[in-house]
Structure 1
């Protein structure tokens, strides 16, 4: 017989643990294509192909910035929980990236504007020997 005065069992929501993938990247232009391919593969494995195009673009821009403006080593980490993706690009430069205004005829300088347009939010956190540039993407 069940005790009528007993507390009901607590029911906690089931939250899946985040999925994670992390890679070290070379500090050369080929790293950008490699980072896009790794991101695409991880998102496919996590059944997040709807995020692939946007996340690949964001990863491409952030890794490009690390290759052009920072010092190695460069690291890329992606996390996913539900339909949200967080990405982090770590490099060993303390210079903080900032969006710049460019004219239509300029070839460079639009990367962070694209990150702002495609990411739900993004930012930069300092590290003792560099920084992490992070973004969050979630379905709008």
Structure 2
């Protein structure tokens, strides 16, 4: 069986494409790949200004899916003008829940980080699991 991390993703074109989608394995290395793919898509779409926000949220949501769902995930990004909607689908029906993390705890801040970096986020049921989605919008510079 081929390692999906070794298969190059399809190129992101700047020919008006408004979406990009990738299947990622349930492996820690997939998180870094997800961040890289998101940055590449944003650059191709002329939305590099969103790279920090989107990659932080992608990192948290993909990590949560891999750690808690223990299943491969699908990352999709959709461009809508100056906004990007991200979706991470996994095969678990258990929805994410915010946790209270103390200052010395290593875990429990993921959804707080998503809330801080995304304009809005939520969870939708899927036929075989769920989809965690988020929206980040580029602000007009003054």
- Residue equivalent to 2:123: 124
- Residue equivalent to 1:78: 77
Distance 2:100 2:109 in 1: 8
Structure 1: tracts of 5 or more residues without a match: 1-16
1:77-96 equivalent positions in 2, closer than 5 A: 77-96=76-95
1:1-140 equivalent positions in 2, closer than 5 A: 19-140=18-139
TM-score by length of 1: 0.85
The SS at the match of 2:65 is helix
Task: State the 4+ residue runs in structure 1 displaced beyond 6 angstroms.
Answer: none
Native 8 Å contact 2:23 2:75 kept in 1: yes
Structure 2: tracts of 5 or more residues without a match: 1-15
- Specify the structure having the higher radius of gyration (Cα): 1
Deviates most, 73-82 or 33-42: 73-82
Native 8 Å contact 1:92 1:130 kept in 2: yes
Native 8 Å contact 2:66 2:72 kept in 1: no
- Root mean square deviation of aligned Cα: 1.2
Deviations 1:41-100 (CA, angstroms, capped at 9, x unpaired): 000000000000100000000000011000323100000111100000000000000111
Distance 2:105 2:17 in 1: 40
